[in-house]
A and B are shown apart, each in its own frame.
Chain A
Amino acid sequence: QVQLVESGGGLVKPGGSLRLSCAASGFTFSDYYMSWLRQAPGKGLEWVSHISTSSTYTDYADSVKGRFTISRDNAKNSLYLQMNSLRVEDTAVFYCAIYNSGWYSYWGQGTLVTVSS
């Protein structure tokens, strides 16, 4: 069955960096656009970024543009999110998800990123 397992979250100081990973299994990873979404404490879900099947196309929410970089390795069935210049307001649970024609068909359980001094 489809599995998405995020890792790499943790506690980081403002201005710091983290790299999130998402290990995918149970489907043909290279056939699907993939996305990162997040949920800040007490807030709703927010789309962060997505990437096309061959990495040709990427897009970002305005709130992370210029600071976050999405990438993928189809040979390793893995999705990544490099997060630089982290801010307190980036504190959230980050989810990877399969993007499918507008909706997100499968999600991981998430990894918590806490930005605090």
Chain B
Amino acid sequence: EIVMTQSPATLSVSPRERATLSCRASHDVISNLAWYQHKPGQAPRLLIYGASTRATDIPARFSGSGSGTEFTLTISNLQSEDFAVYYCQQYNNWPFTFGQGTRLDIK
């Protein structure tokens, strides 16, 4: 099973600044990586798939990069609605696995 490790566990950033979230895979997942946003009591929301392709209706301030074992989610010009928990997920090998999440807090 591929282990996904996200860092940091918690990130505190001020509104209108940039947040950079990292995700590392224990084995090469090529570009088969997705990112999700999750707010308490709400449905998780797909942000990025294919490591860098934004999902439908996702604002351009969300961008994904990386391949192989190292991936990054960058959120520019942070808005109040962006403070949430973010998860990465690999879909290169079964079983598909998720990282433990990065909580993005308001500084």
**Residues on A facing B (Cβ under 8 Å):** 4, 43-47, 59, 61-62, 95, 97, 101-110
Give the residues from 73 to 107 in chain B that come closer than 8 angstroms, CB to CB, to chain A. 87, 89, 91-92, 94-101
Q: Is B60 an interface residue (CB 8 A)?
A: no
Q: Tell me the bound Cα distance from A43 to B97 in angstroms.
A: 13
When the two chains form their complex, are residues A45 and B44 in contact, meaning their CB atoms are under 8 A apart?
A: yes
6 example contacts (A-B, Cβ-Cβ < 8 A) are as follows A44-B99, A44-B100, A47-B96, A95-B44, A102-B32, A108-B43
List of B residues within 8 angstroms of A102 by Cβ: 32, 34, 49, 91-92, 96
Partner of A45, one of B42, B46, B91, B98: B98
When the two chains form their complex, are residues A107 and B87 in contact, meaning their CB atoms are under 8 A apart?
A: no
Q: Given contacts A44-B101, A45-B89, are A61 and B95 in contact (CB under 8 A)? A: yes
Q: How far is the CB of B76 from chain A (nearest CB, A)?
A: 22
When the two chains form their complex, are residues B43 and A4 in contact, meaning their CB atoms are under 8 A apart?
A: yes
Binding site secondary structure of chain A = strand
Q: How far is the CB of A64 from chain B (nearest CB, A)?
A: 11
Q: How far is the CB of A60 from chain B (nearest CB, A)?
A: 9
Of the listed residues A4, A46, A104, A108, the one surrounded by the most CB atoms of chain B closer than 10 A to its CB is: A104
Q: How far is the CB of A99 from chain B (nearest CB, A)?
A: 9
